Chain A
Amino acid sequence: MTEWIQACDAEDVEQEDVIRFDHAGRTFAIYRSPDDDYFATDGLCTHEKVHLADGLVMDEIIECPKHNGRFNYKTGAARGAPVCVDLKTYPVKVEAGKIFLQLG
């Protein structure tokens, strides 16, 4: 069984935005969609290891701040050059205003 890790307050992430979350030597990105659902992925772009939390969230897409590689943060799917490797996603739950991630 993988445990749930408390990451941040739900209010720490603005709507249609992303923040960085570091845990146990790893880095993650936590997203809040325009319709207020929360998602989590690995924090670094699969192309050049750039922190995605500095990138722009538009609808369900996160765009890498350096090379404009795009991913669907809900599924992790890479959306064209220069990225070709999908992003790993993690289950998220919200309880009492706190965000929890299940890290595999």
Chain B
Amino acid sequence: MSDGIVIIGAGECGGRAALALRDLGFDGPVTLVGDEPHLPYERPPLSKDAMTSDAPALKAITSDEILAERSIRHLSSVQAVAIDRAAHAVRLSDGSALPYDKLLLTTGSLPRKLSMPGLGARCVYLRTFNDALAIRPHLRPGNSIAIVGGGFIGLELAAAARKLGAAVTVIEAQPRILMRGVPAEIAEIIHEAHVAEGVNILCGEGIAAIADDGAEVCFTLAGGQDIVADLAVIGIGAVPVIGLAAEAGLTIDNGIAVDAELRTSDPDIFAAGDCCSFPLAIYGGRRVRLEAWRNAQEQGALAARNMLGAEESHVAVPWFWSDQYDLSLHIAGLSDEGRTVVRRDLGNGTFILFHLAEDGRLVAASGIGPGNAVARDIRLAEMLIAKHARPDPLALASIDVRLKNLLAA
């Protein structure tokens, strides 16, 4: 490959892909294009540790020295504006063009915008390190923070804001927090933890009007209540960045549509991470799009292998976690694939829910507890899910049965 590989999007996924290409021995040109001014970095800490530390530090996944040593060309603060598929070239915002043999799109996702009138300077989103730096000074005693959306970003940020002494109100339109992908029993534990820490959570509350004068913002709720805050962070989900792909005529289906090998409708263009939707073999080819750190990492590495000809399918079980206060939630698989639930109590309020399909197959597991109390069992559950195991529900419910033994069975 004389023109080499171009990667658009320099986040976790793109960064891992670039490094993986060199690990695999590829010696052609590798160019990583990112619109942020930073090295590829880890986003998960932005709503957690980076937010509560006195001086938020960027957690880069590589360094300029490593990129130079491995001959990975990193172009920062530049946007890809068009793909010329016929010419095999990407046009950049600085006017230059990058030729490619294979192109990888790791364009990620962006916060879903709240489309209402009245938003101003005090209504912000959290996605990038610079977003985190802008939010951090507002999280202090005497300040009030409104969080629109009771999803992971909003709740992790609520926990960080409380830790730093700010007053916090969470406004959620749904009847409960974490409606998407988290079972009610677990969401309830998280809800209670936030209330115990002094967070005001308002569920089932629509927003009727927003007034943001640049100094403070007021949300008038559908019920008539006014919530006034020094800063509002909107966390109502994320949307895949598909503009470049769509304009190039690639197939879009809840993200850039790729096959199991992460190839788009153009055989020389791949997509990976938050921006793509892909068929998940363990659920009969159900097309999903995942916004998760490990998925970004794994798909980045897989796209690298496949661009070099590996023809390997993505088979991983979705997995993610979230930390709030001393609680950690871990989920493997997609719980909405389950029809029945088996609960395994580990003591001290720590438990795991196993989600079983009609035929008894384990399809997901969700757990919550202090620290990483459920991490090991969720990891074992993930392996059971990958094996299409049909474990005995009584064994799953009994803490006297080691999950590792079920895996060996």
**Size category of the binding interface on chain A:** 10 to 19
Of B19, B294, B376, which contacts A54 at CB under 8 A? B376
A101 and B200 CA atoms in complex are apart in Å by: 49
B-chain residues with CB within 8 Å of residue A7 when the two chains form the complex: none
- Residues of chain B with a CB closer than 8 A to A77's CB: none
Least Cβ–Cβ distance between A1 and chain B, in angstroms: 36
Interface digits, B300-325 against A, CB 8 Å rule (1 contact, 0 not)? 01000000000000000000010000
Give the 10 A-B CB pairs with smallest separation, nearest first. Answer: A65-B375, A54-B372, A65-B372, A56-B379, A56-B376, A54-B375, A54-B376, A81-B16, A65-B376, A55-B376
Contacts A/B (CB < 8 Å), 21 sampled: A16-B404, A51-B371, A51-B372, A54-B371, A54-B372, A54-B375, A54-B376, A55-B372, A55-B376, A56-B379, A56-B380, A65-B375, A65-B376, A66-B372, A66-B375, A81-B16, A81-B61, A81-B297, A82-B42, A82-B61, A82-B297
Residues in chain B near residue A16, CB distance under 8 A: 404
Q: How far is the CB of A23 from chain B (nearest CB, A)?
A: 20
Contacts of B373 in A (CB 8 A): 54
**In the complex, how many angstroms separate the beta carbon of A48 from the nearest chain B beta carbon?**
8
With an 8 Å Cβ cutoff, the count of chain B residues facing the other chain is: 17
Q: Which residues of A are found within 8 Å of B379, using beta-carbon distances?
A: 55-56, 63, 65
Interface residues of A in 37-57 (CB under 8 A from B): 50-51, 54-56
Which residue of chain A lies nearest to B373 when distances are taken between CB atoms in the complex?
A: A54
Known A56-B379, A56-B380, A82-B61; contact A68-B294, beta-carbon cutoff 8 A? yes
| Inter-chain contacts of A63 with B (CB < 8 A) | 379
> Interface digits, A56-69 against B, CB 8 Å rule (1 contact, 0 not)?
10000001011110
Closest Cβ of chain A to B146, distance in Å, is: 30
Candidates B19, B61, B321, B404; contact of A66 at CB < 8 Å: B321
In whole angstroms, what is the CA distance A68 to B44 when docked? 14
> Across the interface, which residues of B come within 8 angstroms of A81, CB to CB?
16, 19, 61, 297, 301
For A55, list chain B residues within 8 Å (CB): 372, 375-376, 379
Distance between B164 CB and nearest chain A CB, rounded to angstroms? 21
A22 to B16, CA, bound (A): 34
Contacts of B297 in A (CB 8 A): 81-82
Please give the distance in Å from B348's CB to the nearest CB on chain A.
Answer: 14
When distances are taken between beta carbons in the complex, the residues of chain B under 8 Å from A56 are 375-376, 379-380
Known pairs A16-B404, A50-B372, A55-B379; list 19 more (Cβ under 8 Å).
A51-B371, A54-B372, A54-B373, A63-B379, A65-B372, A65-B375, A65-B376, A65-B379, A66-B321, A66-B372, A66-B375, A67-B293, A67-B294, A68-B294, A81-B16, A81-B19, A81-B301, A82-B42, A82-B61
CA distance A56 to B321 in the complex (A): 16
Q: Tell me the nearest residue of chain A to B375, going by C-beta.
A: A65
User: How many whole Å from A62's CB to the nearest CB in chain B?
Assistant: 11
Q: Hey, which chain A residues are within 8 Å of B404, CB to CB?
A: 16
**Residues on the A chain within 8 Å of B19, using CB:** 81
Query: Which residue of the partner chain A has the closest CB to B16?
Result: A81
Residue of B nearest to A52 (CB): B372
Query: Taking the nearest CB of chain A, how far is it from the CB of B4, in angstroms?
Result: 22
Q: Residue-by-residue, is B275-313 near A (CB-CB < 8 Å gives 1, otherwise 0)?
A: 000000000000000000110010001000000000000
Counting chain B CB atoms within 10 Å of each CB, the highest count among A54, A65, A82 belongs to: A65
Nearest-neighbour CB distance to chain B for A55, whole angstroms, equals 6
Q: Tell me the complex Cα distance, A67–B376, Å.
A: 12
A16 CA to B373 CA, complexed, in Å: 18
- B10-36 CB mask vs A (1 if < 8 Å, else 0) is 000000100100000000000000000
Interface residues of A in 64-81 (CB under 8 A from B): 65-68, 81
